[in-house]
Amino acid sequence: MRTRSFLTAILLIASLPLLVQAQDKPSEYAALLAQVKAGNTDIDYARLRLSWMDSPEYKQAKDTTKEEDGMGAALGQKNFAEALKDAEVVLASDYVNMDAHFVAYAANKELGATDKAEFHRTVFRGLVNSILHSGDGKSVSTAWVVINTHEEYVIFRVLGFRPGDQSLMNKDGHSYDVMKVKSLEDGSEATFYFNVDIPMKHYGV
């Protein structure tokens, strides 16, 4: 009996390095984030966004609603230093926040930090394109995949549409936002579809 206990203890001790290594292994999101922060902007932005939602970093993220509201207001008032300060707080908590990257781009550009401005512009484009490349948004089978409903409105701003009526559709076990929009350029109307399985899973909305 004593021998068995001794062998069990040895096996537990031997497995400790593996357990520690598994615990220390960064999440997929953290690994991709480290690449971007190191200056590698040629990454898979879709994976960055999707992995964020299931990461421990997401579960530990702080509420930055105040800073999100503040950065937009400060940018509108041309208080670029304050806008950048708030954007950096948001990005420290949620690096896939497209609005924060846009504000950081615009503020850095106005403050003369052209390299930083270009960096955030590149990341912003990468995040936007990762949604646009997930489909064409014209049907449920080619719906754009979003991780939160706010991304829908970012896409409409980029494409030049004013959102109108919204409805929720469930089909074949998936959830879709059906959005009617109007072109800011010529007033033409269109309907786009967003796969909202991820927001439904995490927020229930």
Residue 25: what pLDDT? 84
Structural domain of residue 180, as residue ranges?
Answer: 140-203
Token pair of 139, please? 């049907």
In a shared domain, residues 146 and 123:
no
Region 51-79 average pLDDT: 96
> 193 and 153 in one domain?
yes
What are 82-124's pLDDT values in tens digits? 999 999 999 999 999 999 999 999 999 999 999 999 999 999 9
Q: Looking at the 3D structure of the chain, how many domains does it have?
A: 2
Kindly list the distances between the CA atom of residue 63 and the CA atoms of 46, 49, 171, in Å, as whole numbers in the listed order.
Answer: 23, 18, 33
- Domain membership of residue 50 (yes or no) is yes
Domain identity same for 38 and 106: yes
Mean pLDDT for the stretch of residues 12-36:
71
Residue 183 within any structural domain of the chain: yes
The pLDDT assigned to 117 comes to 98
Q: What percent of the chain has pLDDT over 70?
A: 87
CATH of the domain at 112: 1.25.40
CATH at 155: 2.30.30
Domain final residue pick, 98, 132, 166: 132
pTM: 0.86
Domain-terminating residue out of 104, 132, 160? 132
**Residue 54 · residue 82 · CB < 8 Å:** no
The one-letter code for the residue type at 108 is N
Q: What is the distance between the alpha carbons of residues 44 and 79, in angstroms, rounded to a whole number? A: 33
Domain shared by 185 and 164, yes or no: yes
Q: Is 12 inside a domain boundary? A: no
